[in-house]
Amino acid sequence: MHVDIWIAIVVAAIGTYALRVVPLLWTQRHFNKHKANNTEARLPTWLSVLGPLMIAAMLGASLIPKAPSAASWIATAIGTVVTVLVWRKFKSLGLPVFCGVLSFGVAFGIALV
């Protein structure tokens, strides 16, 4: 596999991870700031509605390979299983997605070789 493809896979994995971890860090900072001021912190209503909708939309779009082939379906299945297993162990958002995307890239890369 060409180095360019691996770079693209790593960039996509880091970007996907960042999409999950940045809002988490922002929310934690928001709650810590309110805790330091002894005030009540609440999540904005739009975040509690929009967040799960965006995750569901991304899940639906990412589970179907763009170019359906045996390699892409197998890599998708492996990435999905790894994501679920890591989520069941750690109960977080960022790490399971990172591991799932990484395992998808590795499985797809191996399948193409």
Query: pLDDT tens digits, residue range 33-89?
Result: 888 888 887 777 777 777 777 777 777 777 777 778 888 888 889 999 999 999 999
Output 3 or 48, whichever has higher pLDDT.
3
Report the pLDDT averaged over residues 21-29. 87
Give the integer Cα–Cα distance in Å for 21 and 101: 15
Q: What is the pLDDT of residue 66?
A: 74
Euclidean distance between CA atoms 23 and 43, whole angstroms: 11
Q: Distance between CA atoms of 95 and 55, rounded to whole angstroms?
A: 15
Q: What is the DSSP letter of 65?
A: -
Per-residue pLDDT at 1 = 61
Which of these, 10, 112, 25, 4, lies nearest to 65 by C-alpha position? 112
